[in-house]
Amino acid sequence: MRHTPADLVFTGGPVLTLDAARSRATTVAVTGDRVTAVGHDEVRDLIGPQTEVVDLEGKLLLPGFQDAHIHPVAAGLELAHCDLTAARTAAGTVAAVRAYAEARPEEEWITGGGWSMEAFDAGAPTKDLLDAVVPDRPVYLPNRDHHGAWVNSRALELAGVDRTTPDPADGRIERAADGSGEPTGLLQEGAMELVARLVPPSTPADRLAALLRAQRLLHSYGVTAWQDAIVGSFGAMDDPADAYLTAARDGSLTARVAGALWWDRERGAEQIPELLARRAELSHGRFRAGSVKIMVDGVAETGTAALLAPYLDGCGCPTANRGTSFIDPADLRRYVTELDALGFQAHFHALGDRAVREALDAVEAARTANGWRDTRPHLAHLQVVHPDDIARFRQLGATANIQPLWAAHEPQMDELTIPFLGPERAGHQYPFAALLRSGATLAAGSDWPVSSPEPLHGIHTAVNRVEPGGTGPVFIPGQRIGLTDALTAYTAGSAHVNHLDDTGSVRAGFLADLVVLDRDPYAAPPGEIAATRVARTYVGGRQVYDAGL
């Protein structure tokens, strides 16, 4: 029997298929953009005179990684501006701002971001630090989690923000401790918009360049697909939609991208017709915008994640603060039910246990009203999940979208989060193993630029509950998961929420979205997972990255 030769054959190394049987192979054939055979020596019969043969030389082949929650265009723009992600101290952060501003005297605004809260006393830098290095131009710098922004006096002046300015309903202006009401230069959540609305927008060319810059980096980490978690304008984050459409049309978008359309929390159901129109407008080629991103709450380190019981103060006593639910729970249930009926996927930002419960209640309302539709809702972040809600993920078909790099001891966790949650609630953080045991599907993402987009670092942390290079104690040891489970979250799990059903596994008939690792992480201790490097990345059988290893 004669076989049609394949275009591409991988051989000479282990193949981790991540199929349902978790089988291994040694040879994979690709024709066009799809895998046509997976097996062993018999697959070599598909090698013809024109077949490209890739000798893996013992390297590991597996499905391409997918990031289920990421902001690549925003990250790409940040990389081109005042990038503070490498600064570890207050002095180092301020020095980086000074150097950037001095090198760019022509820039009217100093923008960028990525500073770490733990670099500053109480996690709160002040305008005085910025005024000392940039006194004459406005400065707007979101922090690492992008739920707070650090600004100087000039920015506050231009925005008309002073001691008489009230806090917006969905945010907080941090003020001097002397009771004067004077803004300190730190704006939380919705208060960021007071200055963000004045920041000059990026240009379409800027956004396209940022997308392609980010895509190159993501491919170098083995990422072949992702879900952009905000397609729309939010704060100073410009709408990336035009960049995706341009790249999808001209072929420069080599990744597969699901877009989550931004739900404007200051509006209601009247925006749904606009979302329907955007879904139709923005679905082209490798870009599809069939999800809606709903931000239910804020973040724990600023006291805005929505909790069932109050935060504690510095002495361990309950406060009056239970965080912020940005959308009334009854309204949330109604909106999600309407979106689900129209075939939209709900993509929730939910960190606190109250936010998680409110999001699950909304999914339950949609299931009750509409039946079990294939909309694949997912909840991202899941910092604190009440034990009573763990089983509801499987029961409701809601995927747990985890950001594993956050599940480790580090200063922001140890100094700015755990003391204000208290020991019992802090023990409910990032319950990956409990969710798996309950039968929930896990997807995984980075939330870049909040944290590194390197999947192997996230996988390392999910398995070890210690950050790469970390030597500290294991963070909630009982919530560690196995290497196969972590890899599956970054492949098949994320493919599920991205509606890319013919990806996430190395199987005949599936798209040839593949990554080659320089070693087999199963052959080394778990503490060495992060040392693994990506050698090559393929999308649809086409090589999009080669490390030369």
Could you give all domains of the chain from N- to C-terminal order, each with its CATH number?
A: 8-64+508-546 (2.30.40.10), 109-196 (3.10.310.70), 286-497 (3.20.20.140)
Say if residue 403 is exposed, middle or buried (CB neighbours under 10 Å; 0-12, 13-18, 19+): buried
The predicted structure's pLDDT at residue 2: 58
Say if residue 86 is exposed, middle or buried (CB neighbours under 10 Å; 0-12, 13-18, 19+): exposed
The token pair that represents 273 in the structure block: 């017709």
Q: Which stretch of DSSP H or E encloses residue 421?
A: helix 418-421
Query: Could you check whether the bond before residue 423 is cis, i.e. omega within 30 degrees of 0?
Result: no
Q: Which stretch of DSSP H or E encloses residue 272?
A: helix 272-281
Residue with tokens 């009230």: 166
Residue with tokens 């994640």: 305
Cβ atoms of 197 and 187 closer than 8 Å: no
The predicted structure's pLDDT at residue 472: 84
**Euclidean distance between CA atoms 238 and 182, whole angstroms:** 29
**Euclidean distance between CA atoms 49 and 25, whole angstroms:** 23
Cβ atoms of 70 and 490 closer than 8 Å: no
The conformation of residue 504, written as its DSSP 8-state character, comes to S
Residues constituting the chain? 549
Q: At what angle do helices 72-79 and 204-220 cross, to 10 degrees?
A: 100
Sorted by sequence, the CB contacts under 8 Å of residue 274 that are 6+ apart come out as none
Compute CA 206 distance to the chain's CA centroid, rounded to the nearest angstrom.
Answer: 21
400 pairs with which residues across the strands? 379, 442
Which backbone phi and psi does 105 adopt, to 5 degrees? -65, -15
Residue with tokens 């208290």: 422
Residue with tokens 């994979």: 28
**Euclidean distance between CA atoms 199 and 195, whole angstroms:** 7
The predicted structure's pLDDT at residue 274: 98
Instruction: Write the single-letter amino acid at 485.
Output: D
402 pairs with which residues across the strands? 444
The conformation of residue 60, written as its DSSP 8-state character, comes to E
- Neighbouring CB atoms inside 10 A of 209's CB total 17
Residue with tokens 């080659």: 516
**Euclidean distance between CA atoms 343 and 291, whole angstroms:** 9
Query: Closest Cα to residue 463, out of 475, 451, 453?
Result: 475
Cβ atoms of 383 and 351 closer than 8 Å: yes
Per-residue pLDDT of the chain (549 residues; tens, 9 = 90+): 457 999 999 999 999 999 988 899 999 999 999 999 999 999 999 999 999 999 999 999 999 999 999 999 999 998 889 888 888 899 999 999 999 999 999 999 999 888 888 888 877 889 999 999 999 999 999 888 788 899 999 999 999 999 999 998 888 999 998 889 999 999 988 898 999 899 998 999 999 999 999 999 999 999 999 999 999 988 768 999 999 999 999 999 999 999 999 999 999 999 999 999 999 999 999 999 999 999 999 999 889 999 999 999 989 999 999 999 999 999 999 999 999 999 999 999 999 999 999 999 999 999 999 999 999 999 999 999 999 999 999 999 999 999 999 999 998 899 989 999 999 999 999 999 999 999 999 999 999 999 999 999 999 999 999 999 998 899 999 999 999 999 999 999 999 999 999 999 999 999 999 999 999 999 999 999 999 999 999 999 999 999 998
The Cα diameter of the chain in Å comes to 87
Alpha-carbon torsion angle 214, 235, 305, 435, nearest 10: -30
3-state DSSP assignment of residue 299: coil
**C-alpha to C-alpha distances, 99 to 42, 84, 135, 382, 453, nearest whole angstrom:** 60, 11, 14, 37, 26
